[in-house]
Amino acid sequence: MTNDIQGQAVRPFVKKWAESTLAGKMERREFLALASTFGASAAVAYGLLGQAAPAMAQTEGKKGGILKIGMQILAMKDPRTFDWSEHGNIFRQFGETLVRWNNDFTFSGLLLEGWSVSDDSKTYTLNVRKNALWNNGDPFTADDVVFNLTRWCDSTAEGNSMAARFTPLIDEATGKARDGAIEKIDDMTVQLNLSVPDISLIAGMSDYPAMIVHQSYDPEADFASNAIGTGMFELTGYEVGVSASFKRRESGWWGGQALLDGLEFTDFGTDQSNIIAAFEAGEIHMNDETGSEYLEILDALGLERKSKPTANTIVARMRADSPPYDNKMVRNAVQLAVDNATVLEIGYSNEGIVAENHHVAPMHPEYYELPKITADPVKAKAMLDEAGHGDTEMELISIDGDWRTVTTDAIAAQLRDAGFNIRRTVIPGSTFWNDWTKYPFSTTNWGPRPLGIQVLALAYKTGGAWNESGHENPEYDALLAKATGVFDDDARREIMKDLEMILQDSGAIVQPYWYNTSLHHVAEVKNLERHQFREMHLENVWLDE
């Protein structure tokens, strides 16, 4: 049974969550994310809390100007294989996702006008936006949604991380979409019929590998020739490692028009001293991210800082299929030798909170706080010796030139202090991500996801496209599948407790901290906000020049 609130049907369990939030039993952010997942609009979700939905802080903007941005320009590829935020920030200027994860942690429709989810989380009805047009003039319809969902469900496509997010639609025998799983109801409606409950599908539709492509999309073609999108800008130039440029789409975008005439992205590499020089020379208006060691430096230039606490993180992961890390005792010894609080202090200037080696953050709704584990270098070395690897050289790999290098240096230093034989290797950013899932022992930065179960499925599920640690555990996989179908927070948190313990005990990762994400911009840039996932949403941004 449902009740109508502000003209929208609201399920009893959503109202129950609101009551729990008002009673202090649930975090507001947690409630907003879950309520919007089940189709409640922001107005309804906030209304249930007795609040008005916040409007984006903005003044009357004016048209004109080219926004200049400092960001790495990576080689582009099939969006369903995107594995860096930079990929998404380029594509979303001319393309869009079905759903947006908003700054207040709610979900709202982009190429979907809305959706509904059955009480058992096994049937999703997607309402396609009626006034969206591709920049080649084609109308956007349910056929486009079906086309993209079918592509996402192809687990046989190398590097397709979207398949891990839509497993309830996939036939295990074929590795592709199950017959009847993706059903076109009419030209503007698609129904998803899941084999098992899954509360994470809407969140998965908002991630950067979920960028929507035209039905003519050719993964083998040049990126620029594939730049058919539904978004507010049009791509005008792209050179890997150098620059990307866009012009405003003058007509056809369902949202109206962007205020900016265009965008220019410039690649200054991973050394942020180059970003400082670019700001000083007036070459850029904003960067995409400021590392902790440069926050005060850029503040001193008179720039405006935008920061946000997030579930962004870095992990030092060990591949369980590569010696000596195929020995669990070795992995646990590495964990025990590292003081995560010290790594946060050295690696990110305490701009964040200490993590617990299980990749679920306190800001995730299903987070369960485990007992703290104190670093013990002496015991760690004894464990390493007992495992027969007291003198074995371990190569710890990282990208070059920023906080990830400093963080990895701090981890390596603690391991050396504990008596481990550590060799550090730093790989240029231009080549690091070519093999990022294959290094035996390396650090990788991870963006946040709305739900803890999402990142656990992406990074630690057996056979997952982003399972860079090679973690395999049937009990873990079964518990994760169970948790994915539970929308009651308290019940899911009890399952998450076991998942966190299994992952922590496996020794798969040293996860030192969750870091605050920041950017800087000149005062002339208006209406720019820091998104928790480094997403650049620029439709309302303007230049006061």
The DSSP bridge pattern shows strands 393-399 and 421-427 to be parallel
Say which residue the tokens 């946060």 belong to: 344
Mean pLDDT of 286-312: 94
pLDDT band at 34 (very low <50, low <70, confident <90, very high): confident
- pLDDT higher than threshold 70 for residue 156: yes
Read off the amino acid at residue 486.
Answer: V
- pLDDT higher than threshold 90 for residue 53: no
- pLDDT higher than threshold 60 for residue 56: no
**End-to-end Cα spacing for the chain:** 54
Beta strand extents in 229-371 (DSSP E only): 233-239, 243-248, 262-266, 286-287, 304-318, 352-354
Which one, of 234, 279, 268, lies nearest residue 252 by Cα? 234
Q: Could you report the per-residue pLDDT of 109-155, keeping only the tens digit for each?
A: 999 999 999 988 899 999 999 999 999 999 999 999 999 999 999 99
Contacting residues for 88 by C-beta, under 8 A, at least 6 apart: 82, 208, 209, 211, 535
- pLDDT higher than threshold 70 for residue 304: yes
Mean pLDDT of 188-213: 96
Mean pLDDT of 316-321: 98
Which CA distances in Å does 372 have to 336, 350, 351?
12, 18, 20
Read off the amino acid at residue 8.
Answer: Q
Mean pLDDT of 177-190: 98
Q: DSSP of 67-99, one letter per residue?
A: EEEE---PPP--GGG--SHHHHHHHTTT---SE
Q: Could you report the per-residue pLDDT of 458-471, keeping only the tens digit for each?
A: 999 998 889 999 99
Kindly report which listed range (219-223, 231-235, 329-333) carries the lowest average pLDDT score.
219-223
- Check residue 1 and give its pLDDT: 37
Kindly report which listed range (37-51, 269-283, 529-543) carries the lowest average pLDDT score.
37-51
**What token pair was written down for 435?**
């093999």
Which one, of 47, 58, 188, lies nearest residue 528 by Cα? 58
Angle at 342 (CA atoms; ends 341, 348), nearest 5 degrees: 85
**What token pair was written down for 356?**
């617990």
**What token pair was written down for 100?**
């947006």
Contacting residues for 253 by C-beta, under 8 A, at least 6 apart: 133, 230, 231, 232
Of the CA atoms within 13 Å of residue 54, those in its CB half-sphere come to 9
Q: Could you report the per-residue pLDDT of 238-283, keeping only the tens digit for each?
A: 999 999 999 999 999 999 999 999 999 999 998 889 999 999 999 9
Count other Cβ atoms within 10 Å, centred on residue 154: 17
Asked if 237 contacts 265 with a C-beta cutoff of 8 angstroms, the reply is no
Q: Could you report the per-residue pLDDT of 389-420, keeping only the tens digit for each?
A: 999 999 999 999 789 999 999 999 999 999 99
The maximal CA–CA distance of the chain, rounded, in angstroms, is 68
- Check residue 55 and give its pLDDT: 63
User: Residue 392: is it exposed, middle or buried by C-beta count within 10 angstroms (0-12/13-18/19+)?
Assistant: middle
Read off the amino acid at residue 488.
Answer: D
